[in-house]
A and B are shown apart, each in its own frame.
Chain A
Amino acid sequence: MADGAKPVLDVRGLQTVFRTRGGDIHAVNSVSFHLKPGELLGVVGESGSGKSVTMMSLIGLLPMPPAEVRAGEVLLGDTDILKISAEELQKVRGRRIGFVFQDPMTSLNPVFTVGNQVMEPLRWHMGMNKKQAFARAVELLDLVGIPDAARRMKDYPHQFSGGMRQRVMIAIALACDPEVLIADEPTTALDVTIQAQIIELVKELRTKLGMAIVWITHDLGVIAGIADRVMVMYGGQVVEQGPVAELFANPQHPYTRALLKTIPSVTGERETRLKVIEGQPPILGAAPSACPFMPRCAHSFARCAVENPPRRPIGRAEVGWGHDVACHWDARSGGPHA
Chain B
Amino acid sequence: MLTFTIRRLLFAIPTLLFISLVIFLILELAPGDPLADMPMTIPPDVKEKIRLSLGLGRPAYIRYGLWLYNLFVTEPSYWIDSAFHTHLADGAQRIISFQTRAPVFDTIAERIPQTLLVVGMGYLVGTLISLPIGIISAYKQYSWFDQFGTFVSMVGFSVPTFVTGVMLIVIFSVMIPSTSFFWLPSIYDTTLRVTDWNSFVLQFRQMIMPVFVLALYQAAQVSRYMRASMLDNLSMDYVRTARAKGLSERVLLLKHVLRNSLIPVITVIALGVPSIFTGAIITENVFKVNGLGQQLLLSIQGNDAPMVLTISFIFAILIVLFNLIADVLYGILDPRIRYD
Interface residues of A (CB under 8 A from B): 59, 61, 87, 90-95, 98-99, 101, 103, 106-112, 120-121, 124-125, 156, 158, 169, 172-173
Contact = CB atoms under 8 A, between A and B. Distances in A.
B245 interface: yes
21 contacts: A87-B248, A90-B247, A90-B248, A94-B244, A94-B245, A94-B246, A99-B241, A99-B244, A101-B237, A101-B241, A106-B238, A107-B237, A108-B238, A109-B256, A110-B334, A110-B336, A111-B333, A111-B335, A112-B256, A120-B242, A169-B241
A109 B243 CA distance: 12
A110 B256 CA distance: 9
B79 to A, nearest CB: 41
Contact of B246 (A90, A108, A156, A158): A90
Given A93-B246, A103-B237, A110-B335, 6 more contacts: A90-B247, A93-B243, A106-B238, A109-B242, A111-B259, A124-B247
A67 B87 CA distance: 77
Contact of B240 (A101, A111, A125): A101
A121 B242 CA distance: 9
Nearest to A91: B246
B267 interface: no
Contacts of B248: 87, 90
Interface of B: 236-238, 240-248, 251, 256, 259-260, 263, 333-336
Contacts of A92: 246
A258 to B, nearest CB: 32
Given A156-B335, A158-B335, A158-B336, A109 B246 contact: no
A94 B334 CA distance: 27
B245 A172 contact: yes
Nearest to A60: B243
B242 A125 contact: no
B60 to A, nearest CB: 52
Given A111-B259, A111-B333, A158-B336, A124 B238 contact: no
Contacts of A120: 242, 245, 247
Given A109-B256, A110-B260, A111-B260, A61 B245 contact: no
Contact of B245 (A103, A106, A121, A158): A121
Nearest to B239: A109
B333 A107 contact: no
A125 B246 CA distance: 8
B247 A107 contact: no
Contacts of B242: 109, 120
A249 B241 CA distance: 37
Most chain B Cβ neighbours within 10 Å, of A101, A111, A169: A111
B251 to A, nearest CB: 8
Contacts of A87: 248
Contact of B243 (A61, A95, A156): A61
- 9 closest residue pairs by CB, A with B: A94-B246, A93-B246, A99-B244, A94-B245, A106-B237, A109-B238, A156-B335, A107-B237, A121-B245
A121 B334 CA distance: 23
B116 to A, nearest CB: 32
Contacts of A107: 237-238, 240-241
Contacts of A103: 237
Contacts of A93: 243-246
Contacts of A61: 240, 243-244
A112 B256 CA distance: 8
Contacts of B336: 110, 156, 158
A326 B244 CA distance: 32
A87 B251 CA distance: 13
B259 A112 contact: yes
Contacts of B236: 106
B257 to A, nearest CB: 9
B241 A109 contact: yes
A151 B95 CA distance: 58
A110 B261 CA distance: 12
A93 B252 CA distance: 14
Nearest to B243: A61
Contacts of B251: 124
A182 to B, nearest CB: 9
Nearest to A172: B245
Nearest to A104: B237
A94 B240 CA distance: 12
A124 B250 CA distance: 13
A125 B333 CA distance: 28
A88 to B, nearest CB: 10
B231 to A, nearest CB: 13
Contacts of B241: 99, 101, 107-109, 169, 172
A56 B248 CA distance: 17
Nearest to B237: A106
A156 B245 CA distance: 18
A61 B242 CA distance: 10
Contacts of A173: 244
Nearest to B257: A109
